[in-house]
Amino acid sequence: NEYYNVTYEPVQRQLLDFKKHHPRPIGLWTKNAGEPVDIRDTITINSDQFSNQLLIDTISTVAGERIPERVVTAKGTGAFGYFEVTHDVSKYTYADVFNGVGKKTPVVVRFASGFQNKGGSDLARDLKTMAVKFYTQEGNLDLLSISIPVFAFRDPMLSRDITHAFNRNPQTNMYDFTSFYDIVTLRPIFAHSLFWLMSDYGIPNGYRKMDAFPVHTYELASKHGEKYYVRFNFRTELGFSYLTTAEAAAIQSLDLDYFTRDLYNAIGSGQYPSWKLEMDVLSLHDLKKVDYNPFDVTTLWKNGTFYTVPIGRLVLNRNVKNHFRDVEQAAYNPGNLVPGIPGPVDYLSCGERMYYRDTQNYRLGRNHNKISVNMPLYEKTYVRDGTPPTNLNMKNAPNYYPNSFHGPVPYVDEHRPWKKLKVLETNAFDLEPAWYFYNYILEDEAHRLRFIANIVLTLVPVTPPVVQRAMKLLHLIDQDLGERVKAGYEVALAAQQALANATPAETMSFRRVPSAEGHPIQMSDPR
């Protein structure tokens, strides 16, 4: 009862809450094989350590607590909740999860920051992600979404290189804006999504207050054999809000986990975050009339060519009890689709299907769908054995198909479209979307100034030849933008120079720590 009179946030009181719910120890401590621990085994100095199974259990398990972190989106958090259908969309899809107003489907959602490592900052100017796994009656539907409505590129061949260039330098082990701008200027298709990130959309004010976009154009199929092409949008019911670079830096100096804390505290105190799920729609007929490529993940659909249909609400109402079990081990895969949603048809999505399977096989093992958080509500397969977890391993059911002994059988989906749309894409790209973003999506001059300042800030540490190329690209996109970034860059550089010329304060006049300086044997790197 010690905290009844004090207002602690849910994050602060997690351990106290545990104790409150368990007035006595939760049981006897056991060794890994179940033998109860005798208190004399808990201290090992001056004892026979080799025969102490508790010590061996401890030493031989602690290093194995680590698994590889995600190659991207490593810093994340998650929660459970539900999705509720609020509108009849049976005209567009026969997917069970989106049919029946009032129907609720459980979900697990993971949020993350695109290029931060596991211990990194929530507040980095970065792509934020929101991955939603719907546990539907027809299998898991995963909608992997990002905080901006366009993706950086459309050829999956580029993904490794952008991941490398946006990540830590192989020698300095630091994020490197030179490699960042180098690849952006060599592949200017990145410019559009980069512009979104440099604007107020680059640092939302927490995961609760950001919108999220699966970006791909999904094919939907109706019961009547019609096909629709849609872009889903999750719109936060709290309203989008952002942090300026200065605000984010100030918070970051005190709290790298600001988004994580905000989400946990909100859910823990009953203020459940929620999003409306809607879709922008083009019918097959409309699709043929538009004068742009509606499958291009690097561009927006043009206003006036589509209409928007509400589907339902996503609510997060339960914090996870164990982060590793339910968030770290979660495996979202854009290939996890359900009947009625044939899914994206662009080339990037084909690449993704392979990447996600491969990365999760590596990170979690090839039985990752048998880990509790990834398990569908119903599942019967011919997959057997392998690295645990294998769960019941389908017990004694026939393990080959076809068989005449009543193993699981396929069904006939009468509504499944008989033909998949074939899309031919071009490698050509246009700088017009970036120009449009600067002139029309940035709604006023104040936002444009913040955008320019953010670009300038990231250009200052870049090596000069790459800066020149970045300037050229910005001028090509918009002359006015190019000029303003150039002017801002020169001022910032001069300020940095002035700072570098200032005499550094003396920090340590002498030291007592023994040093190898002057030692006759000097180490040198023979390689």
Residue ranges for the binding site for heme?
356
Under rule CB under 6 A, residue 351 binds ligand HEM: yes
* Binding span for ligand HEM by CB under 6 A among 142-150, 185-193, 380-388, 406-414: 142-150
**What does the per-residue mask of binding to ligand HEM show for 97-116, with x meaning CB under 6 A?**
-------------x-x----
Report how far residue 300's alpha carbon sits from residue 224's, in angstroms, rounded to the nearest whole number.
29
Beta bridge partners of 81: 107, 316
> Minimum Å distance from CB 101 to ligand HEM?
28
Local structure of residue 40 (DSSP, 8 states): G
> Minimum Å distance from CB 112 to ligand HEM?
5
Under rule CB under 6 A, residue 144 binds ligand HEM: yes
* Binding span for ligand HEM by CB under 6 A among 72-80, 116-124, 182-190, 486-494: 72-80
Under rule CB under 6 A, residue 214 binds ligand HEM: yes
Under rule CB under 6 A, residue 71 binds ligand HEM: yes
Local structure of residue 208 (DSSP, 8 states): G
Secondary structure class of 476 (helix, strand, coil)? helix
Nearer to ligand HEM, 332 or 489 (CB): 332
Maximum alpha-carbon separation in the chain? 86
Report how far residue 225's alpha carbon sits from residue 350's, in angstroms, rounded to the nearest whole number.
24
Under rule CB under 6 A, residue 355 binds ligand HEM: yes
Closest by CA position to 298, among listed 486, 176, 396, 158: 158
Under rule CB under 6 A, residue 326 binds ligand HEM: no
Using CB atoms within 10 Å of the CB of residue 197, give its burial: 0 to 12 exposed, 13 to 18 middle, 19+ buried: buried
Nearer to ligand HEM, 129 or 245 (CB): 129
> Which residues within the stretch 272-301 sit at the binding site for ligand HEM (CB under 6 A)?
297
> Minimum Å distance from CB 354 to ligand HEM?
9
Rounded to 10 deg, the angle between the 191-198 and 445-459 helix axes is 110
Report how far residue 182's alpha carbon sits from residue 15's, in angstroms, rounded to the nearest whole number.
47
Among 121, 129, 193, 299, binds ligand HEM (CB under 6 A): 129
> Minimum Å distance from CB 81 to ligand HEM?
15
Beta bridge partners of 111: 77, 130
Using CB under 6 A as the binding criterion, the count of chain residues that bind ligand HEM stands at 29
> Minimum Å distance from CB 515 to ligand HEM?
44
Report how far residue 315's alpha carbon sits from residue 229's, in angstroms, rounded to the nearest whole number.
25
Under rule CB under 6 A, residue 190 binds ligand HEM: no
Under rule CB under 6 A, residue 73 binds ligand HEM: yes
For residues 468-487, b (16+ Cβ closer than 10 Å) or e, as one string?
ebbbebbeebbeebbebbee
Among 76, 206, 268, 488, binds ligand HEM (CB under 6 A): 76
User: Which residues neighbour 356 within 8 Å (Cβ) at sequence distance 6 or greater?
Assistant: 331, 332, 333, 334, 335
Under rule CB under 6 A, residue 215 binds ligand HEM: yes
Report how far residue 451's alpha carbon sits from residue 457's, in angstroms, rounded to the nearest whole number.
10
Helices (H) and strands (E) in the chain, counts: 14, 9
> Minimum Å distance from CB 298 to ligand HEM?
10
Among 85, 108, 141, 146, binds ligand HEM (CB under 6 A): 146
Report how far residue 7's alpha carbon sits from residue 13's, in angstroms, rounded to the nearest whole number.
9
Residue position matching structure tokens 């007592």: 512
Under rule CB under 6 A, residue 151 binds ligand HEM: yes
Under rule CB under 6 A, residue 330 binds ligand HEM: yes
| Positive or negative torsion for Cα 30, 35, 40, 44 | negative
> Minimum Å distance from CB 388 to ligand HEM?
19
> Minimum Å distance from CB 403 to ligand HEM?
34
> Minimum Å distance from CB 75 to ligand HEM?
10
Among 360, 367, 374, 454, binds ligand HEM (CB under 6 A): 360
Closest by CA position to 75, among listed 419, 342, 323, 424: 323
Among 210, 256, 331, 466, binds ligand HEM (CB under 6 A): 331
> Minimum Å distance from CB 504 to ligand HEM?
42
Under rule CB under 6 A, residue 458 binds ligand HEM: no
Token digits for 232?
């889903």
* Binding span for ligand HEM by CB under 6 A among 231-239, 266-274, 353-361, 399-407: 353-361
> Minimum Å distance from CB 148 to ligand HEM?
9
Nearer to ligand HEM, 425 or 483 (CB): 425
Which residue spans within 114-217 are E strands per DSSP? 128-136, 139-146
Q: Which residues are annotated as a binding site?
A: 356
Side by side, the strands of the sheet bearing 75-85 are 139-146, 128-136, 104-113, 75-85, 307-319, 274-283, 227-236, 218-221, 343-344
User: Which residues neighbour 16 within 8 Å (Cβ) at sequence distance 6 or greater?
Assistant: 2, 3, 8
Under rule CB under 6 A, residue 352 binds ligand HEM: yes
Nearer to ligand HEM, 68 or 465 (CB): 68
Query: How many C-alpha atoms does 502 have within 13 Å on its Cβ side?
Result: 9
* Binding span for ligand HEM by CB under 6 A among 348-356, 392-400, 411-419, 505-513: 348-356
The Cβ of residue 85 has, within 10 Å, a number of other Cβ atoms equal to 21
Closest by CA position to 352, among listed 194, 169, 215: 215
Binding site for ligand HEM (CB under 6 A): 70-73, 76, 110, 112, 129, 131, 144-146, 151, 156, 159, 214-215, 297, 330-332, 348, 351-352, 355-356, 359-360, 363
